[in-house]
Amino acid sequence: MQLTVSTWNINSVRLRLDQVGRFLKERRPDILCLQETKCPNDKLPLKDLQAFGYPFVVHMGQKGYNGVAILSRYPFSETSVMEMCGRQDARHITVTLSREAKAAAGLTIHNFYVPAGGDIPDPELNEKFRHKLDFMAEMRSWGSRAKPTAGPAILVGDLNVAPLEHDVWSHKQLLDVVSHTPVETETLEELRQEAEWIDAMRVLRPEPEKIYSWWSYRSPDWAAADKGRRLDHIWLSKGMKDTLRSIDVTRDTRGWERPSDHAPVTAVLEL
């Protein structure tokens, strides 16, 4: 069977419910993982999301900030969340697909929203940047302790780091900019490699191809300038590498009316 998984920082699911519906209608992924839903659980537009053809929805929300959700055509046998860095700030949710998912049964999906880190790349001067580094350190510890890639698993999310040279429009100009500083890129690659996650995008579309999933709102002509960064990722457990058939960024969504500054990333697997 084919399984299609998408991840998208939606930057308010209520504000961009129409955009979510349009994407789901056009791309029809089996599973959509959202970040930055920006609403508490009781304010999630659950019935609207289910009406798009996704009856199984889990959400960990927070008023006005953060928030992660997973929409699925298949039911879950398990769901769980981690409170990263001792904070209840809705940055993680995990599901395992039930036996009704057929060949995908038992597949675990981890949805993360890593802190952005503010503007100053110095943990002594910027608490937000310190929190980001602490968050990634906790992800690294979790990978070592929990062995999430021991079975079939996918890790997705807005990881807020563009780890490789060609994941940004200018490697040299962004070395001192949060999301591409050496301490961030090295930490993310170390935690990925230590846990034996596979960066799905770069399996099929290796460097030096430039790939972005985020374009700043500050750039009025974002498409022409194309000063993007690849902040949104899909990782596969080591045993799933050979199931990957395609992966892409739906760049067009960045040009829709009232868009998110992120575009969805979608992977197709053959299980």
Active site residue 212: no
Q: Catalytic site residue 113? A: yes
- Catalytic-role residue among 110, 131, 233, 262: 262
The reply to whether 242 sits in an annotated binding site is no
184 is in an annotated binding site: no
| Structure tokens belonging to residue 86 | 């001792």
36 among annotated binding-site residues: yes
Of 158, 167, 199, 232, the catalytic one is: 158
- 8 A C-beta contact, residue 269 and residue 240: yes
Question: Long-range contact list for 206-214, CB < 8 A, 24+ apart?
Answer: 207/164, 207/165, 207/166, 208/165, 208/166, 209/166, 210/166, 210/169, 211/166, 211/167, 211/249, 212/167, 212/168, 212/169, 212/249, 212/251, 213/249, 213/262, 213/263, 213/265, 214/9, 214/261, 214/262, 214/263
In whole angstroms, give the CA distance from residue 234 to residue 265.
Answer: 8
| Active-site residue flag, 65 | no
Q: Length of the chain, please? A: 271
Annotated ligand binding at 160? The verdict is: yes
3-state SS class at 204:
helix
Of the candidates 110, 113, 199, 232, the residue annotated as catalytic is 113
Place of tokens 């770069």: 202
Q: Is 41 annotated as a binding residue?
A: no
Torsion of CA 226, 208, 245, 223, to 10 degrees: 10
Residue labelled with tokens 């599901």:
95
Which residue positions form the known binding site for Mg(2+)?
9, 36, 158, 160, 261-262
Which residue positions form the known binding site?
9, 36, 158, 160, 261-262
**Residues labelled catalytic:** 113, 158, 262
